[in-house]
Amino acid sequence: MAQQAQLLAEVAPVMRVKVLLPLPMGAGYDYAVPEDLSLTPGDIVSVPLGPREVTGVVWPGGADGKVPDEKLKPVKRQFSVPRLSPQLMDFVDWVASYYMVPKGAVLRMVLRREQGLADVKGKTGFRRCAVPPHVKLTAKRKAVLEAAGDRALSARELAEAAGVTDGVVRSLAEAGALEPVMFDPDPPFGAPDPDAGRKELSQQQEAGAAELRALVRDGQGTALLDGVTGSGKTEVYFEAVAEALRADPEAQVLVMLPEIALTLPFLKRLEERFGTPPAHWHSDVSSAGRRRVWKRVLDGSARLVVGARSALFLPWQKLKLIVIDEEHDQAYKQQDGILYHARDMAVAMGARQGFPVVLASATPSLETVHNCELGRYSRVRLPSRYGPAVLPDVEVLDLRAVPPEANRWLAEPAVAEITETLIRGKQVLLYLNRRGYAPVTICRRCGERMTAPDSDTWLVEHRYTNRLICHQTGFSMPKPEACPHCQAKDTLAPCGPGVERVAEEAKERWPDKVVEIFSSDTVEAPGSAKALLERMTAGEIDILVATQAAAKGHNFPGLTLVVGVDADLGLSGGDLRAAERTYQVLSQVSGRAGRAKDKGRVLLQSYQPDHSVNLALTSGDRDAFFGAELHCRDEIGMPPFGRLASVILSAEDERKLLEEARALASHVPHAEGIEVWGPAPAPFYRLRGIYRQRFLIRGRKKSNLQAFASDWLAGVKGTSAVRRVVDIDPYNF
């Protein structure tokens, strides 16, 4: 028998497949296919890799045959889940080549750790039941009972939801206060009903919706839904979503939002509109929740998904529409790992796979505006607010004429208007995009600025937690009593304002009013952002001092006055997009004012009242501002007229870093229409003890920067001491 098998093996060629693994590898490895398996590209399998077993995907293109048959290792098992769609695999290949990263690294974004591959049939969970009278209810136990509902949850999930250890859940169950039940840990999502909670649209909205429905029926193209804040863009793009769901009973739709705009009220709105809670995907979702979404997107039953940027890499089966809300938001650009831009990738995906993409914004990016002007994107405008609400009046307060007193941040005219607004019983938002108490801490004696020990960044004083914190690395320390440089005592002074300091001033000026801070520091605990926003909506807060975290998407009916405490913040700095971005965020914040019956008012405190951003905001002439900005970009050949890429070198050893930077600088290949600038120290030259140098590559619109960069870098041998990262279409420079 054994001899016969051996003979057979010699004659019959070994069936092989190429398997791509979610590791930084550019191509897959060959594996032998055991006789009892029949594998097709897209199948998810588990294969040996050295001593480990790794999950990978049978990749299109076939095996390369380099490894001889006798050395080939066999595929261990095939998971009984649907295979990845050919479109998704094509997308992975494309993203890898666009961003110059290994395919396997992109696949890693698709095959996530919490993937639902194991065939869990049923699992014991717990749900609420009558609590026996003898059971003592501690605060932790109460939290568990509150978190438990009629739907069974595993001990882990319950503990996660209640913020306690698994042990608390188990002890409650043993005491008979929770009922054990068998359940499917990843139940399917409800089918969205395109007509469940349809709202009557205004004439303007209906015209916009009709255009978007036509786009969906066409099955291709990108449209910008360009509507002022409060125009009801959401209601309008819901019509596009409904149309896609209606047209095909298997269609999947993704609505993408920047992470911080993905709030509970937004999910509720989707639920009301489509009659079922949507699958949602972002960093706050528990790992079990993410596993459920992943698995249900793969089997096609999650049809409506709302998610942050990484939702783009879910294992889509039949994606038929992507909506990108707040398309201008820079949060769509991933800042570590693979430096992709989710909006750009979504548009590319739609074009490659033949489905439409809707971009929505009140302040679109210049790239998108430019694409509309070129006729590549269609444009649907909603110029006025929905219902009786009108856009607020915007006025710039010239701080040169009325400077605030020393260590105060609100100028007299702003104080007077705030007082007047509060007397009328209305709410005020003080906007300052700076977390903490003071952005810089200086020694009054020797002038030392407090920096983190391993970085060049300034430490920001936070009184809320009583620490000095580095906002780049998260390093923190208690505020020292003596200056670390000159040892003088009690000389470290806060310099400039953060939200905590502005709130302090507000509390002093209006002591009988409720003042709260909304920033990522104050709303970190789960549920606290929600509670704060609910109190603001209910009118229980008089003055909200907020960073950008509160700028997005919220409707506060009692809010009529917004004060931009430092409207110049963000205008300085060499960043290409500084003006565009400042304009965007100030309009977003301004858009919070007067969303109900009362007309809103916006006061922008500025030392540069004639800056183009301020002029655009006060005149409301956005298109003129965009026109002028685009003209500037055109003159200097910057995006969207030219292309950029940056090459960042980083190393612990500064000498080796500079050596390699010099070597690269002296080997820049010549290419028509492409220039290289640098090396120059990257922003935050030293971070966590790592030094960073940067080159900027600028090319004409059609130049192939990827090919240029890859030739250039391949021509100069690197060392393991210096890391090279290419950032295609970089932000923040």
Distance separating alpha carbons of residues 15 and 422, to the nearest angstrom: 77
Q: Is 582 in the site for ligand ADP (CB under 6 A)?
A: no
- Residue 235 as a binder of ligand ADP (CB under 6 A): the answer is yes
Residue of 171, 263, 537, 555 that binds ligand ADP (CB under 6 A): 555
The CA-based angle 154-158-159, given to 5 degrees, is 115
Q: Is 201 in the site for ligand ADP (CB under 6 A)?
A: yes
Contacting ligand ADP within 118-157 (CB under 6 A): none
DSSP secondary-structure letter at 70?
Answer: G
Judge whether 483 is annotated as a binding position. Answer: yes
Size of the site for ligand ADP (CB under 6 A): 15
Q: Which residue is at the shortest CB distance from ligand ADP?
A: 232
> Is 495 assigned to a binding site?
no
Contact window for ligand ADP (CB under 6 A) among 39-47, 230-238, 329-337, 430-438: 230-238
Question: Of 92 and 224, which CB lies nearer to ligand ADP in the complex structure?
Answer: 224
Q: Find the shortest distance in angstroms from Cβ 126 to ligand ADP.
A: 37
- Lay out the site mask for ligand ADP across 368-397 (x = CB under 6 A, - = otherwise): ------------------x-----------
573: left (phi over 0), alpha (psi -120 to 50) or beta: left
Q: Is 594 in the site for ligand ADP (CB under 6 A)?
A: no
CB of 697 to ligand ADP, least distance (A): 37
Interaction between residue 18 and ligand ADP (CB under 6 A): no
Q: Whole-angstrom Cα distance, residue 140 to residue 369? A: 52
Hey, CA dihedral for 502, 507, 513, 519, is it positive or negative? positive
Cα torsion angle, 218, 219, 220, 225, sign: positive
CB of 537 to ligand ADP, least distance (A): 11
Q: Which residue has the tokens 């015209």?
A: 207
Least Å distance between CB 87 and ligand ADP? 30
| Three-state SS annotation for 545-565 | EECHHHCCCCCCCCEEEEEEC
Give the binding range for ligand ADP (CB under 6 A) out of 71-79, 233-241, 275-283, 296-304: 233-241
Q: Give 436 or 591: the residue with its C-beta nearer to ligand ADP.
A: 591
Query: Quick one: 235 or 417, whose CB is closer to ligand ADP?
Result: 235
DSSP summary character for residue 46: E
233 is a site residue for ligand ADP (CB under 6 A): yes
105 or 209: whose CB is closer to ligand ADP?
A: 209
Binding ligand ADP by CB under 6 A: which of 113, 151, 199, 217?
A: 199
Is residue 364 a contact residue for ligand ADP (CB under 6 A)?
no
Is residue 446 annotated as involved in ligand binding? yes
| Residue number with CB closer to ligand ADP (103 or 233) | 233
202 is a contact residue toward ligand ADP (CB under 6 A): yes
The DSSP code sequence of 153-190 is B-HHHHHHHHTS-HHHHHHHHHTTSEEEEEE-SSPPPP
Choose one: 197-205, 372-380, 620-628, 671-679; the region binding ligand ADP (CB under 6 A): 197-205
Q: What is the CA radius of gyration of the chain?
A: 28
- Secondary structure class of 457 (helix, strand, coil): coil
Number of Cβ within a 10 Å radius of residue 644: 19
234 binds ligand ADP (CB under 6 A): yes
Distance from the Cα of residue 1 to its chain's centroid: 60
DSSP reduced 3-state for 600: coil
Residue 618 DSSP code? H
Give the pair of three-digit tokens for residue 541.
């807060």
Q: What are phi and psi of 30, to 5 degrees?
A: -80, 140
Which sign does the torsion angle of CA 173, 179, 182, 187 carry? negative
Secondary structure class of 422 (helix, strand, coil)? helix
Helix 155-162 / helix 139-147 crossing angle, nearest 10 deg: 110
Q: CA 550, 553, 557 angle in degrees (round to 5)?
A: 85
Does 600 participate in binding ligand ADP (rule CB under 6 A)?
Answer: no
Is residue 537 at the binding interface for ligand ADP, with CB under 6 A as the rule? Answer: no
Q: Is 560 in the site for ligand ADP (CB under 6 A)?
A: no
Q: Is 205 in the site for ligand ADP (CB under 6 A)?
A: yes
Among 227, 289, 350, 392, binds ligand ADP (CB under 6 A): 227
**Residues in contact with ligand ADP by the rule CB under 6 A:** 199-202, 205, 227, 229-235, 386, 555
Binding-site residues for Zn(2+) sit at 443, 446, 470, 483, 486
